[in-house]
Amino acid sequence: MISALRGMKDILFDDSKKYLYFMENCSRIAKNYGFEFISTPILEETALFKRSVGESSDIVGKEMYQFIDKGKNDVCLRPEGTAGIVRSFIQNKMDKTGGIKRFFYYGPMFRYEKPQKGRFRQFHQFGVESFGINDIKEDATVILMLNEILSFFSIKTVLKLNSLGCPTCMPSYRTKLVKFLDNLDGLCEDCKRRKSLNPIRVLDCKNECCQNLLSKAPLLLNELCDECKSDFEDLKSILDKFDINYEIDVKLVRGLDYYSKTAFEFVSDDIGAQNSVAGGGRYDRLVEFLGGKSTFAVGFAIGVERILELIDVGNDKREGIYIGTLEKDGQDLAFQIATTLRKQNKVNVEFEVKGLKNILKNADKINAKYCICIGENELKNGILWVKNLDTKENLNIDIKSLGEFQW
Ligand code: HAM
């Protein structure tokens, strides 16, 4: 038997209902905020992710599904959505036309991580990216949207917030941090690598020993320039005004290199060690870094598998109609009725001839509200026997007036 690859799984049964319900409602909310749907290829040039997500990140360092294709191109299954959307933004000259562009997207992402609860090698994200706005109100907008999504699904989370500074304040902080790190003995191998590539990534190392060594590290929040400081204060006051609870997390640096200023994560206590449900932030330098015209940008992505653990779609409500056939001669009529009723209703039909008991059992199994059985009487009189599986009531409905019945 061939099984799915390790860390990859099918979305089916209850999860498939939850997945659709989640995507439909996220899309609806994103559209209400003025975001449009975008879909970019799953496979991109490896260089795109190396340059955007960054060489210091675990994603580029260890987790890329990278290979040489038949045309000898160095390609990679996307580990996240932002880089591809920025590539598309530049390629389609949206950086040149200026103005505001807001996109939402969903689909599979790939990271060769060690699989565990809530951590997969193929997982799904729903994300948004907003381009062209240099105003902290846009950061607040995407956080409010994310909060609205999580509230809609009654998901309890804590919002962690930090500012990662900008090209004005970051370089002097970086020098200070490197000086501090140079005097430390005993950092883990990952941190030693990060120290030379992107020293602030050392701050969020999960290794307890490193965290102890870092307890007196200089903090970026104390070193922000006036603009970053005032933006961060404004963001907090908007969140306060809209009753969004948050915790300042001075060591939140996010696992991707492209962020500046706002960085945030929503975490949940209910899903185990992999507790980050969604994350995002501002990335004002990425468009220019990938060869486009400098463009302000901010966004987030939600980890769908982690959300599916937390939502309930209420499976017990019966809906739709199940049609079964008691006679071979009834198959054409079953087909015809199903086609008519599908214009307004959810209809399941089975053509194989079965006994009444089996037909009712199958209707019950798929949680149908009504069961119609096509037998000799129905064919002869044009009157359908219909059972309401909620109330157990038996009804007789003339085929000619099927459309008028309130199913
Ligand atoms: P990220 O924090 O790497 O950000 O991923 C966002 C979310 O994807 C995480 O919070 C988590 O829920 C989920 N996730 C990540 N890795 C896995 C995995 N291996 N298995 C299951 N779920 C996972 C980004 O990807 C950025 N592109 C977000 C962003 C958009 N920033 C700005 N715009």
Q: Is the CB of 119 under 6 A from ligand 1?
A: yes
Q: Is the pLDDT of residue 57 over 80?
A: yes
Minimum-distance ligand 1 atom for the alpha carbon of 280: 31
Q: Is the pLDDT of residue 314 over 90?
A: no
CATH number of 14-166+245-308: 3.30.930.10
Q: Which residue has the higher pLDDT, 88 or 194?
A: 88
Helix (H) or strand (E) holding 233: helix 226-241
Looking only at the bridges linking them, the beta strands covering 297-303 and 321-325 are: unpaired
SS3 43: strand
Determine the Cα–Cα distance for residues 219 and 159; give it in Å rounded to an integer.
20
Q: pLDDT-derived band of residue 313, with 50, 70 and 90 as boundaries?
A: confident
Minimum-distance ligand 1 atom for the alpha carbon of 266: 10
In whole angstroms, what separates CA 19 from the centre of its chain?
A: 10
How many Cβ atoms sit within 10 Å of the Cβ of residue 130?
24
How many Cβ atoms sit within 10 Å of the Cβ of residue 176?
16
- Packing angle of the helix pair 136-152, 226-241 (nearest 10 deg): 30
pLDDT at position 25 is 98
Looking only at the bridges linking them, the beta strands covering 101-110 and 370-374 are: unpaired
Q: Is the CB of 57 under 6 A from ligand 1?
A: no
Q: Is the CB of 129 under 6 A from ligand 1?
A: yes
Order of strands, edge to edge, in the sheet holding 74-77?
43-45, 74-77, 65-68
Q: pLDDT-derived band of residue 55, with 50, 70 and 90 as boundaries?
A: confident
Encode pLDDT of 331-351 as tens digits: 999 999 999 999 999 999 999
Structure tokens at 319: 């809906």
pLDDT at position 77 is 98
Encode pLDDT of 60-81 as tens digits: 999 999 999 999 999 999 999 9
Encode pLDDT of 216-266 as tens digits: 999 999 999 999 999 999 999 999 999 999 999 999 999 999 999 999 999
Q: Is the CB of 157 under 6 A from ligand 1?
A: no
Q: pLDDT-derived band of residue 145, with 50, 70 and 90 as boundaries?
A: very high
CATH number of 321-404: 3.40.50.800
Q: Is the pLDDT of residue 315 over 70?
A: no
Calculate the average pLDDT of the chain. 96
Question: Of all residues in the chain, what percent carry a pLDDT higher than 70?
Answer: 100
3-state secondary structure labels for all residues of 305-368: HHHHCCCCCCCCCCCCEEEEECCHHHHHHHHHHHHHHCCCCCEEEEEEECCHHHHHHHHHHCCC
Average pLDDT over residues 2-8: 98
Q: Is the CB of 279 under 6 A from ligand 1?
A: yes
Residue 3 region by backbone torsions, left for phi larger than 0, else alpha for psi between -120 and 50, else beta: beta
SS3 279: strand
Minimum-distance ligand 1 atom for the alpha carbon of 276: 10
Residue at 157: amino acid letter? T
Q: Is the CB of 19 under 6 A from ligand 1?
A: no
Q: Is the CB of 125 under 6 A from ligand 1?
A: yes
Structure tokens at 163: 């500012």
- DSSP bridge partners of 302: 126, 278
At which residue do the structure tokens 């109100």 appear? 137
Q: Is the pLDDT of residue 316 over 90?
A: no
In whole angstroms, what separates CA 315 from the centre of its chain?
A: 22
Q: Is the CB of 284 under 6 A from ligand 1?
A: no
Average pLDDT over residues 279-304: 98
Q: Is the pLDDT of residue 184 over 70?
A: yes
Minimum-distance ligand 1 atom for the alpha carbon of 127: 30
pLDDT at position 387 is 97
Minimum-distance ligand 1 atom for the alpha carbon of 82: 27
Q: Is the CB of 123 under 6 A from ligand 1?
A: yes
Average pLDDT over residues 324-330: 95
Distance 157 CA to ligand 1 centre (A): 16
Q: What is the pTM of this model?
A: 0.94
Instruction: Look up residue 404 and give its DSSP letter.
Output: G
Phi, psi of 65 (to 5 degrees): -85, 85
Determine the Cα–Cα distance for residues 373 and 155; give it in Å rounded to an integer.
42
Q: pLDDT-derived band of residue 113, with 50, 70 and 90 as boundaries?
A: very high
Distance 277 CA to ligand 1 centre (A): 8
Q: Is the CB of 303 under 6 A from ligand 1?
A: yes
> DSSP string spanning 190-251?
HHHHHHHH-GGGGGG---HHHHHHTTT---GGGG--HHHHHHHHHHHHHHHHTT--EEE-TT
Distance 193 CA to ligand 1 centre (A): 22
Q: Is the CB of 126 under 6 A from ligand 1?
A: no
Q: Do domains 14-166+245-308 and 321-404 have the same CATH topology?
A: no
Encode pLDDT of 159-176 as tens digits: 999 999 999 999 999 999
What residues does each domain of the chain span? 14-166+245-308, 321-404
Average pLDDT over residues 274-296: 97
